Amino acid sequence: MALNEIKIGGLGGQGVILAGIIIGKAAALYDDKHSTLTQAFGPEARGSACSAQVVIDDQAIAYPYVTRPSYMVTMSQDAFAKFSPELREDGVLIIDEDLVKPTGLPPGVKVFGIPATRYAEEIGRKQVLNIIMVGFFTAVTGLVSEQGTRKAVAESVPGNTVELNLRAFERGFAYGKELRAQRS
């Protein structure tokens, strides 16, 4: 596996940073890879643009910052507008299809969408949107394993929400697996 740069963007309060932590943790603790995480967010507690940048590689990572992401997850239109110009021309864009309408992408970008917010509301908590996106990311990219990511989710959320978050992960993963099968 070559070096993989991932940028996750959204609004404060959507769990962007936690999504990055879970993906990095799955890679480093369960998939025997190296990973780094850096984060950026606005001064407001909620509602401002924020991002998590994850680097994953089989080798030790010499530079921990994302410079040109191969994979991008956007959970808001503002995040898409702000971060999408950084995406590689042959990159993969993963979106909440109810919240993000991508435009102006290079022809080589592959777009995968999921109605994550709608699924989170159906599950009973809009706050699990990020975990649905983590499940979807896991299935679509194959960068981290299903089992490792499931364990990372269970270890990273409050104890009284583990079952809810694992249901959210499964919902996103199943949708991503189905979408990948349709595109094969």
In this predicted structure, the answer to whether residue 82 has a pLDDT above a threshold of 90 is yes
In this predicted structure, the answer to whether residue 133 has a pLDDT above a threshold of 70 is yes
pLDDT band at 172 (very low <50, low <70, confident <90, very high): very high
Find the mean pLDDT for residues 69-93.
Answer: 96
Domains of the chain with CATH codes: 4-183 (3.40.920.10)
Find the mean pLDDT for residues 110-132.
Answer: 96
- pLDDT for 7 equals 98
Point out the least confidently predicted range of 46-55, 91-100, 110-119, 163-172: 46-55
How crowded is residue 103: how many other Cβ atoms within 10 Å of its Cβ?
9
- pLDDT for 44 equals 54
- pLDDT for 1 equals 60
pLDDT band at 47 (very low <50, low <70, confident <90, very high): low
